[in-house]
Amino acid sequence: MRIDVVSIFPEYLAPLELSLIGKARQDGLLDLNVHDLRDFTTDRHRTVDDTPYGGGAGMVMKPEPWAQALTAIAEVGPKAPGTEAVRKPVLIVPSPAGERFSQAIAHELAEEEQLVFACGRYEGIDERVLEWAAEHFTVRPMSLGDYVLNGGEVAVLAMVEAVGRLLPGVVGNPESLVEESHSDGLLEYPVYTKPSSWRDREVPAVLLSGNHGKIAQWRRHEQYRRTAERRPDLLDVFDAGKLPRADRTAFGELGYDVVDGRLRRRPDA
Ligand code: SAM
Helix residue spans in the chain (DSSP H): 19-26, 63-75, 103-109, 128-133, 153-164, 212-230, 232-236, 245-253
Main-chain dihedrals φ then ψ at residue 2, nearest 5 degrees: -110, 135
Within 6 Å (CB) of ligand 1, which residues are found? 94-97, 119-121, 123-124, 143-145, 147-152, 155
Measured over the CA atoms of residue 117, residue 121, residue 127 and residue 128, the dihedral's sign is: negative
| Cα–Cα distance measured from residue 159 to residue 128, given in angstroms and rounded to the nearest whole number | 24
The pLDDT of residue 248 is: 96
Tally of CA atoms within 13 A in the half-sphere of 209 that contains its CB? 12
The pLDDT of residue 78 is: 66
For ligand 1, atom 19, the nearest C-alpha belongs to 149
The pLDDT of residue 83 is: 61
How many degrees, rounded to 5, is the angle at CA 224 between CA 222 and CA 185? 120
Local mean pLDDT, 10-residue blocks, the chain (269 residues)? 98 97 97 98 98 97 98 79 74 98 97 97 98 96 98 98 96 84 91 98 98 97 98 96 95 96 94
